[in-house]
């Protein structure tokens, strides 16, 4: 399964800047067999976790997270870049190579469910800043991040070691 899924991800050289090899998941998404294989695997892994919510990180985490939440019969929570959510939010800042960014969720994202069990999901983990902030934000909102899941982990950047929850990645490079 892993070799097959990796074969559906396109490498784009020098994007977004020279020297970067971007892992383009749109080719996995538009391959119905690959997408179903991935989602079947994630559903099988998480069906026994007794989750209350799946939280997807802006924006590609929304794709995997919303489909997985539907398959598991749980709520979906978007974790967005600052200023994108329409209601009262709480945020978590994280460092970038040059500066600071922030992610936010609605203050009532987990509908006042005490200690809600949440899976955080995104397409890729690289340096880990966004994912670390997302996991922290879920926990600060009164829920518990039981695991952070990534379709692809760029292990040479060691971002998973920064996450303060268990981490699972389907694929590793």
For the chain, the domains span 48-172
pLDDT averaged per 10 residues in sequence order, the chain, 173 residues: 97 93 96 98 98 97 98 98 96 86 96 94 95 97 97 96 97 96
pLDDT given for residue 99 in this prediction? 81
Pick the CATH number of 48-172 from 3.40.50.2020, 3.40.50.720, 3.40.1440.10, 3.40.190.10: 3.40.50.2020
Please identify which of the residues 43, 45, 60, 172 carries the catalytic annotation: 60
Please identify which of the residues 3, 71, 80, 97 carries the catalytic annotation: 97
Burial of 127 (0-12, 13-18, 19+ CB in 10 A): middle
60 is catalytic: yes
92 is catalytic: no
Alpha-carbon 39 to chain mean position: 14
pLDDT given for residue 119 in this prediction? 98
């Amino acid at each position: 399964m892993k070799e097959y899924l990796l074969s559906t991800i396109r490498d784009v050289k020098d994007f977004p800047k020279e020297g970067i090899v971007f892992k383009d998941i749109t080719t996995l998404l538009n391959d119905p067999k690959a997408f179903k294989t991935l989602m079947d695997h994630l559903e099988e892994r998480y069906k026994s976790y007794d989750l209350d919510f799946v939280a997807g990180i802006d924006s590609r985490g929304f794709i995997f997270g919303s489909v997985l939440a539907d398959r598991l019969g749980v709520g979906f929570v978007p974790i967005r870049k600052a200023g994108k959510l329409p209601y009262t939010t709480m945020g978590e800042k994280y460092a970038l190579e040059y500066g600071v960014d922030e992610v936010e969720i609605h203050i009532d994202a987990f509908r006042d469910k005490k200690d809600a069990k949440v899976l955080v999901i995104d397409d890729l983990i690289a340096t880990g800043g966004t994912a670390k902030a997302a996991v922290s934000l879920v926990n600060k909102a009164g829920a518990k991040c039981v695991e952070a899941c990534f379709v692809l982990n760029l292990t040479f950047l060691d971002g998973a070691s920064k996450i303060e929850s268990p981490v699972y990645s389907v694929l590793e490079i």
